[in-house]
Structure 1
Amino acid sequence: MLIGGQWIASRPGALIEVENPADDTIIGTIPEGSTEDAARAVAAARKAQPGWAARPAVERGRAVRKLAQLVGARAEELATLITREQGKPIGQARGEVGAVVGFLEHAAEGARRIEGDIIASDNPDEEIQIRRHPYGVVVGLTAWNYPAALAARKIGPALIAGNTFVLLAHEITPFLGLFIAALAEQAGIPAGVINVVTGRGAVVGRALVEHPDTGLITMTGSNRAGREIFRSAADGMKVLRLELGGKAPFIVMEDADIDKAVAAAVTARYTNCGQICTCNERMYLHRDIADEFLEKFVAASRALTIGDPMTDPDMGPKVSGPELDKVKSIVDAAVAEGAEVLLEGGPLTEGAYLRGHWYAPTVLEVKNNDSPVIEQEVFGPVVPAVRVADFDTALQMANDTDYGLSAYIFTQNHRRLMQTPYRLNFGEIYVNRANGEQFQAFHNGWGHSGLGGEDGKYGFDGYLRKQTLYMNWG
């Protein structure tokens, strides 16, 4: 672990094995950190923070930009490591490394955009100033599905704002966070500004969240984990940025470009083996085009290649055995309740798939909106479809969820498109396109999908707290 500029182990013999999900081999071990390690990391970050915040923002920006350059120079090495520990195809892993560079570069560009306001006062000889200051120590908790990109998404803006950072690298995919921290040292980022601890979330994560010197917690992960962090942070009145699960509806109306919608639905469901919070999780298809859409979608799903992620197939393995079992249990429950299997993929366990965690694309059709596969986040290569009579029914079914992260709609009808942002209760809506956030936008969930958000000027603003100054010179 990197704590205060020192690479240290944890307790003797306290190690966690890290598995390659494609073949079950152990690719390395990490320290199983303790609450004491968490406390040391926060203390190191707190010690380094005043000096880091005192540097001009453009100087902080140069350091973050240098880190981006070093990541780019080691791109293939980083991509290979992503594929080995997370399982995504190497082409998609290269895309993730590109996102790391993009997140860091975009953050660095914000160094000259830390702005406040001057407001006219009601009193003579006085003005009101709204200033922005860093929170101090930021704790980042990231998910295993994009271990490098999610770390960079948080580290970049936090550092530009003048905060220091403690990252808990997820125990399933820890090496990317450690690799980025090593490159940060090479970039000249001072000791203690970025710290990386490893271990179990229930132990190390809780200690980081509850530590009295933690100023802001930014987390990407499951709804369950978000609730636990919410509870743990309550007594300390901590500021939270939580990006949690999603159950994105994919709505296709009768006037849509069907081929374009099918292509987008395939991309939005199966990229990274369906392990993206913005994935196409449930499809609502107008009854007039449902047969055509499903025929083409099933054919495209069946044609996807699955295999050794280093050969760059369309899909690699699920990240772990428990994750694979979760997907299987949701599908089994849906079928037991009457879902029709249009494409029976399921677990792959023979031949080239004898080792690893493999699940082939699976397409179901359900009659109602309360099937387990409709209500639960699958986070895998499984998608249910529901036929709908009209636009109003599609919106009603889409909104019938606790989640509110992302949604998709395909239609050429201008009136429907204008109504969509007012009637579809999600923080991020993709219109006539597949998923894929952009650095300058704002990625945020409504409802049980989270608090706050990331990216762009609105995400950056979340790493700064406001101070009001009544300046009277009378």
Structure 2
Amino acid sequence: MSIETLIEHGPFIAGTAEPLSGEHREIRNPGTGDLVGRVTDATAQDVDRAVQAAREAFEGWARLGYADRGKVIHACAEAFEAHVDELTPILVAEQGKTIREAKIELHKAADTLEHYAGLSRQVRGISVHNVDPGVEARTLRRPLGVVAAIVPWNFPTTLLCNKLGPAFLAGNTVVAKPADTTPFTTLRLAEIFHEAGLPAGVLNVVPGAGAVVGEALVKHPGVRKVAFTGSTPVGERVHALAAAGSKRVTLELGGSDPMIICDDADLKKAASAAAMGRFYNCGQACLAIKRLYVFESVADEVIEAVAAKAKRLRVGIGSDADSQLGPMHTQRQREIMERQIAESGGEILAGGGRPEGLDGGWFHEPTVVLEPGRDSPMAREEVFGPALPIWRVKDLDEAIELANDSPFGLGSSLWTSSLNTAERVAAELDCGYTWINSPTKVYDELPFGGLKASGYGKEHGSEALDYYTDTKSVVVKRAL
């Protein structure tokens, strides 16, 4: 499965897909180096046009009822599903992931939109009768205005729809900035949504570099909310820029998710979940398993199983239907991970280097490292690639202490057959999400967000609407 012709695209503003023009960027396949297409690098003036288009569309969109906006979101979700086969080769080519992973991502993104369409008839305020004699009170949810949605390259569509769903349902309009290396799927999605009935200007897309387009968008006085997913350093920069004008901000940042495997766990299932949770999307996920702590008494069995699974994974270009692990997205990401492995010590049980015969892209073998230094880069930094460190621990106290000894607090996992252990760990781990005896699947029904250097604010669930609306109090005094 591959794209047939080179893609050429400019920004998508006010319902119009603009042609390639001005300064443009070449997008290349991370697995082959082949040219995928060319995209216009938007300017600050393009950002201003997009924000103005979103502001002009806001009044009409916000005046629609929730049910009417829900119908439009539902139509967009259906159109999205109908175009998955068209979008798959574009996503594979620009991001590098496998065909299977691309389809999983696209279907999940459409499901997220459908989830928010389904919430459209359940949004309500609060009424309080007789707060004083003859006085009634209620709260209203009001949309914020123009939302800047800034997303990274690892999951271009799911991370975008995490923002579009609640933003659209609440009545906001959006200017989206995809990562500079993965613009094409997002630009095509905007066309599909417009064709499905999304009014012009409700969604605009401005591709380009973060230092130009991203900063212009975050600082624009017409933007009232910034929803950002990306690295912690960039997120902190976004937060600082958004302080001017007191913009609302939600930040979904980096993670270094721990998994704890106890001696009473189903070890076969736990080892499988550890490998899947680490190597899915070539390990390039914020909610990947990035640190594994195993009770000493069962460690050898788990370590052997995880290493064996890593060795069996078939590495190859994303468009090869037999590939189970695609390339890393950029040369820089691979170099960072290679440095982290080299500086961390420990025993390499699987992988550790670049696979033979795949010199055209940014490939790295799925790697398992036993007992790297506990203050090493693999323990303290976010490892954004297919490398899993494993440590033996003597008991639950040590496992919880090490799991929490991280600047990050995004997700976590526990495998045990003890209800008491599960309840304790769920309460004591410093993170926004804990899976117990479960693969690391994110549910649209549940709020998702991190602690510490992993950001703040919630996506998913009805709670996400709190971050895309303002709650206004209304007091009415009756004539007595």
- Say yes or no: TM over 0.5: yes
| 1:198 alignment partner, SS class | coil
Match of 2:354 among 338, 344, 347: 347
Amino acid across the alignment from 2:99: I
SS of 1:18's partner is strand
**Contact 2:315–2:324, Cα closer than 8 Å, also in 1:** yes
Q: Which is worse superposed, 266-275 or 204-213? A: 204-213
Quick check: 2:252–2:456 contact (8 Å CA) kept in 1? Answer: yes
Aligned with 1:249: secondary structure? strand
The separation in 2 between residues aligned to 1:218 and 1:443, in whole angstroms, is: 13
Q: Is the 8 A contact 2:15 2:191 kept in 1?
A: no
Of residues 416, 434, 454, the one that matches 2:439 is 434
Match of 1:327 in 2: 337
The equivalent position to 1:3 in structure 2, one of 6, 10, 13, is: 13
2:369 counterpart of 1:364: yes
Are 1:419 and 2:424 counterparts? yes
Query: For the Cα contact (< 8 Å) 2:131–2:137, is it kept in 1?
Result: no
Deviation sequence 1:404-462 (CA, Å, 0-9, x none): 10001111122111111221111000111111101111111111111111111111332
Aligned match of 2:391 = 386
Q: CA-to-partner distance for each residue in 1:104-126, whole Å, 9 max, x for gaps?
A: 11111111122100124542211
3-state SS of paired residue (2:325): coil
Q: Which residue of 2 aligns with 1:207?
A: 216
Amino acid paired to 2:154: N
| Percent of residue pairs bearing the same amino acid type | 35
CA distance in 2, matches of 1:4, 1:253: 54
SS at match of 1:330: helix
Per-residue deviation, 1:101: 1.4
1: CA distance between counterparts of 2:472 and 2:199? Answer: 27
1:245 to 254, 275, 282: 254
8 Å CA contact 2:80, 2:193 repeated in 1: no
* Mapped contact 2:274–2:289 kept (Cα < 8 A): yes
| 3-state SS of paired residue (1:359) | coil
Match of 1:71 in 2: 80
Structure 2 CA distance for aligned equivalents of residues 395 and 364 of structure 1? 20
RMSD: 1.3
Alpha-carbon distance in 1 for matches of 2:246, 2:472: 18
The CA distance in 1 between the partners of 2:473 and 2:435, in whole Å, is: 37
Matched with 2:175 is: 166
1:292 matches 2:313: no
Q: Deviation at 1:70?
A: 1.1
Change (3 A) 1:69 1:122: closer
Write the distance in 1 (CA, Å) between the matches of 2:231 and 2:116. Answer: 25
Distance (Å, rounded) in 2 between the aligned partners of 1:282 and 1:315: 20
- AA paired with 2:362? H
Superposed displacement of residue 368, structure 1? 4.6
SS at match of 2:297: coil
1:209-255 superposed Cα distances (whole Å, 9 cap, x missing partner): 11111111111111111011011011221111110110000111111
Shift of the alpha carbon at 1:5?
2.0
Opposite residue 290 of structure 2, the aligned amino acid is E
Cα drift, residue 367 of structure 1: 5.6
Greater CA drift, 203-212 or 339-348: 339-348
1:116 aligns with 2:125: yes
Which residue of structure 1 lines up, in the alignment, with residue 96 of structure 2?
A: 87
Is 1:315 the equivalent of 2:325?
A: yes
Matched AA of 2:452: G
1:367–1:387 contact (8 Å) kept in structure 2:
no
Partner residue in 1 for 2:114: 105
Give 3-state SS (helix, strand or coil) of 1:440's partner.
coil
Q: Partner amino acid for 1:347?
A: R
Pairwise CA distance, 1:372: 1.0
Q: Indicate the SS of the match to 2:286.
A: coil
Could you list the per-position Cα deviations for residues 262-290 of structure 1 after superposition, in whole angstroms to 9, with x for gaps in the alignment?
A: 11001100000001101010111111111
How far the C-alpha of 1:48 sits from its partner, in A, is 0.6
Q: Is the 8 A contact 1:106 1:439 kept in 2?
A: yes
